[in-house]
Amino acid sequence: MNIETNLPFTVPEPVQDELLPINDEDWDEGKIVPSEPLFTMSFSSLTSVGSFAKMCQAAHMLGKVMSHRASKRSLQDVGSLLPEAISLHSALSALHLSIKEYISGTTSSDFSISGIISLSLCCSAQLLLYNMYGCNEPLVLIEQSRIAMETEMQSVSLHGIKSISFDVMPAIARANIECPLITQCLYHVATECAWFVREDHEPQMYSALEDVVRELKSTGEKWRIAMEYLALLQQAGVLSLITVDTDASSTLTPSSG
């Protein structure tokens, strides 16, 4: 699934009351275990949700944000989507926190990698949502309450973009898991870091950008998709902002396929 194509998920949406097993070990052994919904406003770190369930929740949230984006593009009264946008932000923030606590609490390297992938999917969903509402172009709204919601959504969007770009994804990049499933998020964050560098010349964003590009380069030694993203970054002039050696950067060209 390529987020940039604007196409929907290739799998159908789960039914409203779809549940996930909380505990991977007991589930694998066929035991009766508690369950947790795919979508909720209060993802909890207190429940022992397994790594697969976490990834399902993150992927499902990404699908919901993509559906929200499609609705925003097709509706004239986009202001009516603001309550949904704020709800998605709240749910994603809760999921983000629960995944981070899951990663910090696991002792298995395999589960840690799975958690990192889940967190990257969650960050992709957050960045997709925040880029819809972070710009300074106001929506055509009449009701004062909607204007207030627009300001609130813009504020959380700008803060979210900066936090993910400066803190979360560079830390994920430094984990060096070399997984193709996180390359889209790394690419997206690289473009955000480049924007901060060009607009505000923030020193910490140079370091964040270097971490992200370095991980794309390392992943590109095994997975072609990472090289494709590096080529796009080179084409946009992002790689010229930092000193990370991309190895034969002059040969990086986006695939036409």
129 lies in the same domain as 147: yes
What is the structure's pLDDT at 1? 46
Domain boundary among 157, 175, 193: 175
Query: Which amino acid is located at 84 in the chain?
Result: E
Residues 68 and 66: their CA atoms lie apart, in Å, by: 5
What average pLDDT does range 175-186 have in this prediction?
96
Domain ends where: 141, 175, 209? 175
Contact 151, 127 (CB under 8 A): no
Which tens digit of pLDDT belongs to each residue from 25-71?
A: 777 788 776 666 655 555 655 556 778 888 888 998 998 999 899 88
pLDDT for 9-25, tens place per residue? 666 676 666 666 666 77
Which H helix or E strand runs over 196? helix 183-200
Give the pLDDT confidence score for residue 167 in this predicted structure. Answer: 95
User: CA–CA separation, 76 vs 82, rounded Å?
Assistant: 13
Residues 239 and 157 in one domain: no
**Domain limits for position 250:** 178-257
Where residue 143 falls (left for φ over 0; alpha for ψ -120 to 50; beta otherwise) is: beta
pLDDT tens, position by position, 113-169: 999 999 999 999 999 999 999 886 655 555 555 678 888 999 999 999 999 999 999
pLDDT band at 107 (very low <50, low <70, confident <90, very high): confident
Domain identity same for 40 and 138: yes
Q: Are 136 and 21 part of one and the same domain? A: yes
What is the SS3 assignment for 20? strand
pLDDT at position 250, please?
Answer: 44
Report the number of distinct structural domains present in the chain: 2
Question: If we measure between CA atoms, which residue out of 46, 50, 62 comes closest to residue 19?
Answer: 50
**147: Cβ–Cβ under 8 A, 6 or more apart, which residues?**
138, 141
